[in-house]
Structure 1
């Protein structure tokens, strides 16, 4: 069977294609365009999350998302391929996508490259001075993939490990929370307000650009080992402004064109 590398991060899929090409390998890589770390997952239909993003987070729906996601799943779970699933369990998006893959693939055999505990060598052109672990497969550059010999880390899950993945995803689907977040290298459901406290620590009595607030909040979350997308944080900044916790000026649509400060009653 033809090997197909199944990746739950579109950026990582591109980097893996380059790494395989650098190794002289012509193997197929497919990336999941959907994100199971937020929105409804019971049922796990892409159009429901797209509608939720529009209604709850306030983002324009991607008209082609459902078609692209359906194509990904038909290819990832085809019985005529030998899938190799790549996952970083420190990343809620990648971990949740992997759990949905385990659920959909059923009893068809597949291999896994789990990079959660991989220590990557320092890069001379980066700030790392010691070996480092990543919060996302999408942060690993092609040359680091090659040097870490990630392809040689392919393994299979035991029956107990497969069942644990399925049980975890079954529970998360039953909870159907707004967010899935990483805790102790597992996933747990989280409320819509989960990131609000972290955001508020970067808002003061003085006006600050929303892009500055979101960027600093992202950096703090990453330092604490939490990976979150900027659009999720931006949606919560706008929600807190609507609730009167923050005051906002600017167009309220683009982070760089908007500023925020603590509302006087919240000071």
Structure 2
């Protein structure tokens, strides 16, 4: 690196993906910094996108345990991601609402400072011998791409500079989503749409029957079905909706009702 070059910082909106990218870069002998966003902007209030407001919402509405260091870590991420003294490379898969929302916030925050982007949405990955896939596959999240695939597919060479038209479209989309300030943001046709708090309820209810089922089983099967349908969300979001539907009398909850593995659920008597 010459004195005129800025240090590269890879900006990733998925903590698992950040770890995989670090391993891939190390394998390639590249000593570049990777930072991961510890927050998920696909749910909760985003107008303003203040982490303290969203943390309280997650605690009050979704029942998430509040991490005492989350706000500090998120603030540090954004300071480093938008630092004018680094050359930022933003990674995104637009099939993941979490990654897409984080990317849109990044595009909004960085303003007119130049950066490069790696969009893995349409990348076709070779079949994996340790999996059942026999044909090339596309990922629903950068977090699902192993380090060896990052290397084999030479993803670091896919860095591109977005056009002004693309940047304006992304900023316009995020401005609209912020104004709507919905409980959830979900992927639809490679774009993000606002969604109500009940958006995942039908999917959850599909996996609940008249017989008792472990809540961890219900959530895992619902996650798998959503992923197969091209929708990616976190397990804790679905678990929050299981508990909410139990509170509303749609489900009957057994066990402690706090941890998925210690709880069971079934349709409540008379529930439609």
Q: What TM-score does the superposition give when structure 2 sets the normalisation length?
A: 0.97
Provide the aligned length of Structure 1 versus Structure 2: 267
Could you report, residue by residue, the CA deviation over 1:12-61 in whole angstroms, capped at 9, with x for unpaired residues? 00000000000010000000011100000010111111111100001111
CA distance in 2, matches of 1:100, 1:59: 22
Of residues 5, 10, 18 in structure 2, which corresponds to 1:13? 18
Which of 255, 266, 271 is equivalent to 1:261?
A: 266
Pick the aligned partner of 1:163 from 154, 161, 168.
168
Q: Tell me, which stretches of 5 or more residues in structure 2 are unaligned? A: 1-5
Within the candidate set 213, 218, 224, 1:219 is matched to 224
Residue 248, structure 1, aligned to residue 222, structure 2: no
Q: For 1:77-116, what aligned pairs fall within 5 Å after superposition?
A: 77-116=82-121
Output the CA distance in 2 between the equivalents of 1:123 and 1:245. Answer: 41
Q: Residue 265 of structure 1 aligns to a residue in which SS?
A: coil
- The Cα RMSD (Å) is 0.6
Instruction: Give the distance between the partners of 1:151 and 1:251, measured in 2 at CA.
Output: 46
Distance 1:259 1:3 in 2: 48
Say which SS state the counterpart of residue 270 (structure 2) adopts. Answer: helix
Provide the rounded CA distance (Å) in 1 between the counterparts of 2:13 and 2:182.
20
Displacement after TM superposition at 1:70 (Å): 0.6
Does 1:177 find its partner at 2:159?
Answer: no
Q: Deviations over 1:135-156 (max 9, x none)?
A: 0000000000001110110001
SS at match of 2:42: coil
Alignment match, 2:69 = 64
1:32 aligns with 2:37: yes
Q: Does residue 127 of structure 2 align to residue 122 of structure 1? A: yes
Question: How far apart are the structure 2 equivalents of 1:9 and 1:163?
Answer: 24
- Cα distance in 1 between the residues matched to 2:85 and 2:174: 25
Residue 200 (structure 1) aligned to one of 184, 205, 208: 205
**Distance in 2, Cα, partners of 1:255 & 1:18:** 31
* Aligned position for 2:214: 209
After TM superposition, the runs of 4+ consecutive aligned structure 1 residues lying more than 2 A away are none
Inter-partner Cα distance in structure 1 for 2:75 and 2:251: 39
Q: Deviations over 1:90-122 (max 9, x none)?
A: 000000000000000000000000000000111
TM-score after normalising by structure 1: 0.99
> Hey, what's the Cα distance between the residues in 2 that align with 1:140 and 1:243?
38
